[in-house]
A and B are shown apart, each in its own frame.
Chain A
Amino acid sequence: MTWTTLKSDLAGAGYVASDDLAVALQLALSLGRPLLLEGAAGVGKTEVARVLAAVQHAKLIRLQCYEGLDASQAIYEWNYQRQLLSIRAAAEDGVTGKAVEDRIFSRAFLLERPLLAAITQDTPPVLLIDEVDRADEEFEAYLLEILSDFQISIPELGTITATSRPIVILTSNGTRDLSDALRRRCLYTYVDYPDRGTELAILQARCPDVEAHLADQIVGFVQKLRTEDLEKTPGIAEMLDFAAALMGLGIADLTDDPSVLQAALTTLLKTQSDQAQITPEVAGRIAGRAA
């Protein structure tokens, strides 16, 4: 499979990937390396994994990282309550010692968390490790170990080796520098805001009902808006919301009604100062230039 076929497959599933991203994805698939995607919020990093899973007919397993994420939330945990009940039940039945121990430390009492689940699938799943920069650095080190060996050792059970190697996609918003070790292990792509043509293709793929003229205006408007000095630059998801809002309001042309345009801007501008900055006059001017 070449990257062009992968790109058209993704497009078929509704994701318009840039050439850079398509090559990187194809390399990640064929070399079996994790792929690290970095970029601003709302450029479609998480969506890549979702669509890739759909295209590959694989299961998507998602691990959302957050500060304080630890092994019991990411890898595995014993089901203590059930173990306790089992011990009590065993005591009533008169079973003791090794038999109880064997029973309560078996796979039936193991709660699989995303990382363990990802390596014990029959077919290779897509493992999405979302916002890895939010996790602590200690967790990053642990993650590295799993990404290199694809095996997890559980003291009570022994080592569990991967039955299938997952396709790993990591995303990062760059809230902190990731360690060099992690970067070295991964392929890397920086996902930027799409250019006008790409964004238009995305809009048409996601909202096929939008008329060509309006779609062109919407994309032009959002592209121009991104060049303004905003606190929160609108991403692709916001653009799609904006399009949906305009559709719902029954607008045929952006320049028609300034008040309706201003109302629809709530889907794009997410802070008070941004809303204050883009006054109806500014919005009208941008819409006029975008047309």
Chain B
Amino acid sequence: MSRVTKFAARDPGPAARVVGFIAHLRANGLRLGVAEAELAMAALAHVDAARPEDSRRALRAVCTGCKEEAARFDTLFDSYWMDMGRVRQKVMPTLKSPAKDHVHASRDAKGQDAAASGSAITPDAGDGDADSDGTGKLIATTQRNLNRRDLRDLVRPEEVAEAEDIARRIGAALRDQRSRRRIAARRGDRLHFRKTIRASLATGGEPIRLWHKKRPDRTRKIVALCDVSGSMSVYAQVFLAFLAGLMRADTAADAYLFHTRLVRITEALRDKDAMRAIGRMSLMADGFGGGSKIGPSLMRFADTYAKRFVDGRSVVLILSDGYDTEAPQMIGAALAKLRKRGCKVVWLNPLKGWADYAPVACGMAAALPYLDAFKAANTLQDLAALEKDLVRL
């Protein structure tokens, strides 16, 4: 018995089905445009489209753009084309697309709604607000939605704007001058011979104007890991605003959330609409305000993402209070592994601002030997004050 989806007889031809498939992918978060639909049709013409596996491979090559998308593609393909022989009701995307819902929801949040409910802590789950974001396509069930806090209630747009400013200043403070290669510059420590000779062509071979070169400043890449476990929820407002601002200020920055597991939120936070970005982030931060497993989360980071995104030019910012439910040795081991990649590790602990704070929490004590800086950070002002300290890293 064929698993292939049956399409209703009144449906238009294969082109409409492919367009429907592209819309299906788009609804599930893949960024595809009209050009991809066209390319997908062209690609299908070049393989034996009657063979599902060939079509699957061709469409995967066209429609995916990164490893995560490629990994998700199979299930999305199955759910559209291999629907166990069921009749698909409509192949054409409806006018009321989920993308529109996105925009609408975010505007509401950006307007009066978010500002009105702008307390530091959200009301309990089950409140109407928490369920009201219209991005339902991405999530599996409504049941889990109840346990989820909408982070948009935590963060106000003004704060994001302020944080953006701070993040931009911090990014500018973190310059690395270790490049070995020199580039042309107005004031430099060496003569730029090639450029000087090039310029001398205009003056008949006489080098009248001298060009210089110097070692370029290279920006450091900021990788931020934010703890959003229960003990940190009071500070989440500040840190989430900071993350959102950071991603807007610095296109190379990278951001992660962790509680009992690690989630990469870089993609979500790149959204142009700040509040929509935070809405997308809250969808991913399932388990927000729960327990914390710092050690395993950091270890997972060191084993996976760090191998790709962390190098000698990175500064890893860890925003956490150091209260861990797992063995503290794991934090030390994970940080040692991270340090091996040549990066700087900065731990920002909100508790450090307290009068008598001492890093006695086992996790924090285990982490201390591996840190380049250990700073307090409770408010956006504290973060702004970091600028000076980070220059010296």
Knowing that A3-B47, A174-B67, A188-B61 are A-B contacts, what are 5 other residue pairs whose CB atoms are under 8 Å apart, sorted by A's residue number? A31-B39, A175-B309, A186-B65, A188-B64, A188-B65
Measured in the bound complex, the distance between the Cα atoms of B62 and A189 in whole Å is: 9
Interface 9-mer from A56-64, A79-87, A215-223, A250-258: A79-87
Shortest distance from the beta carbon of A236 to any chain B beta carbon, whole Å = 18
Count of A interface residues, CB-CB < 8 Å: 40
Instruction: Give the CA-CA distance A23 to B309 in the complex, in Å.
Output: 29
Q: How far is the CA of A23 from the CA of B52 in the complex (A)?
A: 13
The reply to whether the CB of B33 lies closer than 8 angstroms to some CB of chain A is yes
Interface of A: prevailing SS: helix
Let me know if A184 and B33 touch, CB within 8 A. yes
CB of A45 closer than 8 Å to a CB of B = no
Interface bits A176-220 vs B (CB < 8 Å: 1, else 0): 110010011011111000000000000000000000000000000
Q: CA of A104 to CA of B202 in the docked complex: distance in angstroms?
A: 12
| Known pairs A30-B46, A184-B35; A80 contacts B62 (CB<8 A) | no
Query: Can you offer 29 A-B residue contacts whose CB atoms are under 8 A?
Result: A3-B47, A3-B54, A23-B47, A24-B61, A27-B58, A38-B66, A68-B216, A78-B198, A81-B197, A84-B200, A84-B201, A84-B205, A87-B201, A87-B205, A91-B204, A104-B201, A173-B308, A174-B67, A174-B308, A175-B309, A176-B309, A177-B66, A177-B266, A180-B31, A184-B33, A184-B36, A186-B65, A187-B61, A189-B70
Residue A145 lies at the interface, judged by CB distance under 8 Å to chain B: no
CA distance A26 to B252 in the complex (A): 34
A46 to chain B, nearest CB (A): 18
- Which residue from chain B places its CB closest to the CB of A35 in the assembled complex? B61
Q: Are A27 and B43 in contact (CB under 8 A)?
A: yes
Quick one: given A175-B311, A177-B266, are A27 and B61 in contact (CB under 8 Å)?
A: yes
Output the residue of A35, A38, A184 with the most chain B CB within 10 A: A184
**Residue in A closest to B33 when the chains form the complex, CB atoms:** A184
Contacts of B53 in A (CB 8 A): 19
Q: Is B217 an interface residue (CB 8 A)?
A: no
Chain B 302-321, CB-CB to A under 8 Å as 1, else 0, gives: 01000011010000000000
Q: Are A27 and B31 in contact (CB under 8 A)?
A: no
Contact among B58, B179, B197 with A80 in the assembled complex (CB-CB below 8 Å): B197
Contact A23 B58, beta carbon cutoff 8 Å? yes
Which of B47, B60, B61, B70 has the most A CB atoms < 10 Å from its CB? B61
Interface flags for A29-46 (1: CB within 8 Å of B; 0: not) read 011010110100000000
User: CB-CB < 8 A to B303: which residues of A?
Assistant: 229
A36 to B62 CA separation, bound complex (whole angstroms): 11
Residue B90, interface by CB 8 Å: no
Please indicate the chain A residues that have their CB under 8 angstroms from the CB of B36 in the complex.
184
Give B64's nearest chain A residue, CB to CB: A188
Neighbour of B61 across the interface among A23, A84, A183, CB < 8 A: A23
Interface size on B, residues (CB 8 A): 41
9 closest cross-chain pairs (CB), A and B? A183-B65, A23-B57, A24-B61, A187-B61, A80-B197, A30-B46, A174-B308, A190-B70, A87-B205
B370 nearest CB across to chain A (Å)? 16
The residue in chain A whose Cβ has the minimal distance to the Cβ of B303 is A229
B42 touching A31, Cβ below 8 Å: yes
Q: Does A227 belong to the interface (CB within 8 Å)?
A: no
Complex Cα–Cα for A187 and B46 (A): 14
Given the complex of chains A and B, what is the CA–CA distance between A190 and B251 in angstroms? 24
Please tell me if B124 contacts chain A, counting CB pairs below 8 Å: no
B53–chain A nearest beta-carbon distance, Å? 8
Q: Given the complex of chains A and B, what is the CA–CA distance between A60 and B71 in angstroms?
A: 31
Which residues of B come within 8 Å of A, CB atoms? 31, 33, 35-36, 39, 42-43, 46-48, 53-54, 57-58, 60-62, 64-67, 70-71, 179, 181, 183, 194, 197-198, 200-201, 204-205, 216, 251-252, 266, 303, 308-309, 311
A2 within 8 A of B: yes
Question: Within the assembled complex, what's the spacing in Å between the Cα atoms of A81 and B47?
Answer: 52
Given contact pairs A87-B204, A104-B201, A174-B308, A27 touches B65 in the complex (Cβ within 8 A): no
Q: Considering the complex, give the chain A residue whose CB is closest to the CB of B68.
A: A190
Given known contacts A19-B57, A84-B200, A190-B70, A31 and B309 CB-to-CB distance under 8 angstroms:
no
The complex places the Cα of A83 from the Cα of B201 at a distance, in Å, of: 8
Chain A residues near B66 (CB-CB < 8 A): 38, 177, 183, 188
Report Cα–Cα, A157/B193, bound state, in Å: 23
Of all chain A residues, which has the CB nearest B65?
Answer: A183
* Known interface pairs A30-B46, A80-B198, A177-B266; A20-B205 also in contact (CB < 8 Å): no
Beta-carbon contact of B201 and A2 below 8 Å:
no
Residue of A nearest to B193 (CB): A80
**Contact of A88 with B by CB under 8 A:** yes
Give the distance in Å from the alpha carbon of A281 to the alpha carbon of B136 in the complex.
52
Given contacts A27-B43, A33-B39, is CB(A68)–CB(B183) below 8 Å?
Answer: yes
Known: A80-B197, A84-B201, A88-B205. A190 touches B61 (CB 8 A): no
What chain A residues lie within 8 Å of B33 (beta carbons)? Answer: 184
Check B179 against A68 for contact (C-beta < 8 Å): yes
In the complex, what residues of A have CB within 8 A of residue B266's CB?
177
Could you say which residues of chain B place their CB within 8 Å of the CB of A23? 47, 54, 57-58, 61
Residues of B with C-beta under 8 A to A36: 65
Which residues of the other chain, A, contact B252 by a CB distance below 8 angstroms?
137, 176
Bound state CA distance, A201 and B61, in angstroms? Answer: 24
From 1 to 55 in chain A, residues with beta carbon under 8 angstroms from any chain B beta carbon are 2-3, 19-20, 23-24, 26-28, 30-31, 33, 35-36, 38
Contacts of A183 in B (CB 8 A): 65-66
Once bound together, how far apart are the Cα atoms of A68 and B194, in whole Å?
A: 17
Inter-subunit contact B54/A189 (CB<8 Å): no
Among residues of A, the one whose C-beta sits closest to the C-beta of B32 is: A184
Chain A minimum-CB-distance residue to B60: A20
CB distance from A112 to the nearest CB of B (A): 17
Tell me the minimal C-beta distance from A263 to chain B in angstroms: 26
By a CB distance below 8 angstroms, the chain A residues around B35 are 184
